[in-house]
Amino acid sequence: MFSHMLCPAPVRPRLRARLLVPGALAAFAGAVVLLAVLHVDRRLAPLDPVSTMLSDYALSAGRWLWDGALLLTSTGSALLLVALYRRGLLANPALVAAKALWCVSLLAVAVFAKDPQGGAVTATGKIHLYASAVTCLSLPVVGWALGRRHRDDPRWRRFATWSRRLALAAIPFYLPFIVPFAVNVVLGGHLPTVATGLVERLMMVLEIALLGVLGHWAHRAMPAGVRFRPRAQVSPG
């Protein structure tokens, strides 16, 4: 006589899925450390954080730290995108595309350096400006839309609220960047900016906080229980 016993068998894809959010958060933490070093160590980047833009780090001796921070943020964001999608939080194709655009634009900012201040405008510099504009807007749009979609779900109401708040708080900091960008690049004018570097850094802090909220949200959305599936096994009885 035979009976069926349920024997747990590990599922590797699910194990990898469990590592998505920790990997994303670790990447974000690494990026924050690199950015902090850039701001503290003036030997690597003797820049005024109030007046100089973040992209000016690409023209300093600490460029490798700047590029590393962008690569880590892009990689972490890609892992987070997969986690949010798999857990049903980010299902709208337009939002998936916007989050993917954020990841790609970060890479473009790293690959295509800005033109030096007062120098000639190059194709590389223009690509950098367009990519920077996309990074400033795409993540807040995703955060706001996610928060709005899940605002009435009792499970996610707190995460949705913070996602909307941080996204809406970041968007006004986008305006001092995009208005001079439109005038100087698109219309060919020259509109001076005041404390653009400080504005950019405040927006960066808000967007990093938004990534942290989305990461914690994706972690909480992980189904409970041991990540095993039952496997039938025949044994004598």
| pTM attached to this predicted model | 0.81
Closest Cα partner for 162 from 147, 182, 141, 177?
147
What local confidence, expressed as pLDDT, does residue 227 receive? 35
Distance between CA atoms of 178 and 155, rounded to whole angstroms?
36
Residues 6+ apart with CB under 8 A from 236: 1, 2
Amino acid identity at 174: Y
DSSP 45: -
Of 175, 180, 148, 177, the closest CA to residue 161 belongs to 148
Tens of each residue's pLDDT in the chain, 237 residues: 434 433 444 444 465 678 899 999 999 999 999 999 999 988 888 888 888 888 889 888 989 999 999 999 999 999 999 999 999 999 899 999 999 999 999 999 999 988 777 667 788 888 988 898 889 889 999 999 999 999 999 999 999 999 999 999 988 887 776 666 666 666 665 655 556 788 889 999 999 999 999 999 999 988 754 333 334 443 444
Report d(CA 98, CA 127) in Å as an integer: 18
